[in-house]
């Protein structure tokens, strides 16, 4: 029996989030430049995106570039930016064929103009697709996102547009980059690091965490299947006891 057949089609996670890690180490192991790891990472992006879309995952969020990544050597940053543009050019037909809508979270205002333009164009081209939404986290960090939300809320209160007593977890979520996107059901991190690295800190309150030692460029469809099978074996309780968690009550 193929691994894929072990997946319960009635319990597919709605939202899968991924910290793609280990490109640099993958390249180093092969005696190559770090950028070669990123180049091979694109194949893993394609595999995971296709596998998720085929299984009926509704949202796939990939941590592609963090706020902190701007501090990497200029050559590496530039290589990642041009890889992003090349990949968007090469994959637009795949996105259309698979009915995938592209979205981003993060501070696009500090992305190079050409990259931002390409992103906006691809977002526009795929806007009417209603299969899976592929969310690229670019120039993103959770502390940046949460601070932004707090600032915006404070401004609205000062301007008299928002009553302080209306601030609760639902309203706060509306001010985040992930507005209208359900929280991730599972967060996958590759490369054997057991950290969250400033990714979706608000949204992962009840997310199942899955870690694999494999480096990102080695990741294939089978690895996503394994993560989902592991996820499906878990009992999600959202802070309640077993009996309660089987009922579909508001979190």
Binding flag, residue 52, ligand FPP (CB under 6 A): no
Tell me the window of 51-59, 61-69, 95-103, 199-207 that interacts with ligand FPP (CB under 6 A): 61-69
Q: Report the alpha-carbon angle 47-139-176, nearest 5.
A: 95
Q: Binding string, 121-140, against ligand FPP, x = CB under 6 A? A: ---------------x----
CA dihedral 192, 102, 60, 53 (to 10 degrees): -120
Report the residue number whose CB is nearest to ligand FPP.
24
DSSP 8-state secondary structure symbol assigned to residue 126: T
Q: Which residue, chain included where needed, has tokens 């608000």?
A: 202
Binding flag, residue 198, ligand FPP (CB under 6 A): no
Between CA 88 and CA 94 the distance in angstroms is 10
Binding flag, residue 64, ligand FPP (CB under 6 A): yes
Could you count the other beta carbons within 10 Å of the beta carbon of residue 224?
A: 28
Tell me the window of 77-85, 114-122, 151-159, 206-214 that interacts with ligand FPP (CB under 6 A): 77-85
Q: Are strands 59-66 and 133-140 parallel, antiparallel or unpaired?
A: parallel
Query: What positions carry a catalytic annotation?
Result: 21, 69
Give the CA distances from residue 63 to residues 19, 33, 73, 200, 250, in Å, rounded to whole numbers and listed in that order: 5, 21, 19, 10, 28
Provide the minimum distance between the beta carbon of 103 and ligand FPP in the complex, in angstroms, as a whole number: 12
Provide the minimum distance between the beta carbon of 17 and ligand FPP in the complex, in angstroms, as a whole number: 14
Site for ligand FPP in 213-232 (CB under 6 A): 216
Residue number, 166 or 195, with CB nearest to ligand FPP: 195
Contact in structure between 133 and 58 (CB atoms under 8 Å):
yes
Contact in structure between 9 and 56 (CB atoms under 8 Å):
yes
Tell me the window of 1-9, 40-48, 114-122, 153-161 that interacts with ligand FPP (CB under 6 A): 40-48
List 7, 15, 16, 22, residue binding ligand FPP (CB under 6 A): 22
Residue number, 102 or 149, with CB nearest to ligand FPP: 102
Could you count the other beta carbons within 10 Å of the beta carbon of residue 107?
A: 17
List 13, 15, 35, 41, residue binding ligand FPP (CB under 6 A): 41
Q: How big is the chain by its Cα radius of gyration, in Å?
A: 19
Provide the minimum distance between the beta carbon of 204 and ligand FPP in the complex, in angstroms, as a whole number: 18
Give the CA distances from residue 43 to residues 28, 87, 221, in Å, rounded to whole numbers and listed in that order: 18, 10, 11
SS3 130: coil
Which residues contact ligand FPP (rule: CB under 6 A)? 20-25, 38, 41-42, 45, 62, 64, 69, 80, 83-84, 87, 136, 216
């Amino acid at each position: 029996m193929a691994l894929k057949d072990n997946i319960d089609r009635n319990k597919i996670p709605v939202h899968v989030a991924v910290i793609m890690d280990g490109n640099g180490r993958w390249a180093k192991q092969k005696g190559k430049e770090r950028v070669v790891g990123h180049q091979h990472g694109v194949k893993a992006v394609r595999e995971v995106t296709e596998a998720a879309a085929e299984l009926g995952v509704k949202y796939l969020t990939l941590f592609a570039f963090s706020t902190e990544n701007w501090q990497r050597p200029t050559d590496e940053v530039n290589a990642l930016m041009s890889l992003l543009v090349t990949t968007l050019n090469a994959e637009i037909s795949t996105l259309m064929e698979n009915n995938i809508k592209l979205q981003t979270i993060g501070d696009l205002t500090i992305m190079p103009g050409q990259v931002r333009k390409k992103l906006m164009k691809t977002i526009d081209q795929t806007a009417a697709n209603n299969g899976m939404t592929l969310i690229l986290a670019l120039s993103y960090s959770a502390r940046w996102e949460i601070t932004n939300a707090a600032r915006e809320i404070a401004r609205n209160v000062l301007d008299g547009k928002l009553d302080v007593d209306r601030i609760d977890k639902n309203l706060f979520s509306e001010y985040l980059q992930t507005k209208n996107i359900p929280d991730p059901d599972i967060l996958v991190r590759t490369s054997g690091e057991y950290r969250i690295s400033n990714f979706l800190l608000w949204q992962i309150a009840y997310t199942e965490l899955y870690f694999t030692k494999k480096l990102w460029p080695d990741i294939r469809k089978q690895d996503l299947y394994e993560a989902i099978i592991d996820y499906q074996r878990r009992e999600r309780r959202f802070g309640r006891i077993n009996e309660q968690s089987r009922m579909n009550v508001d979190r």
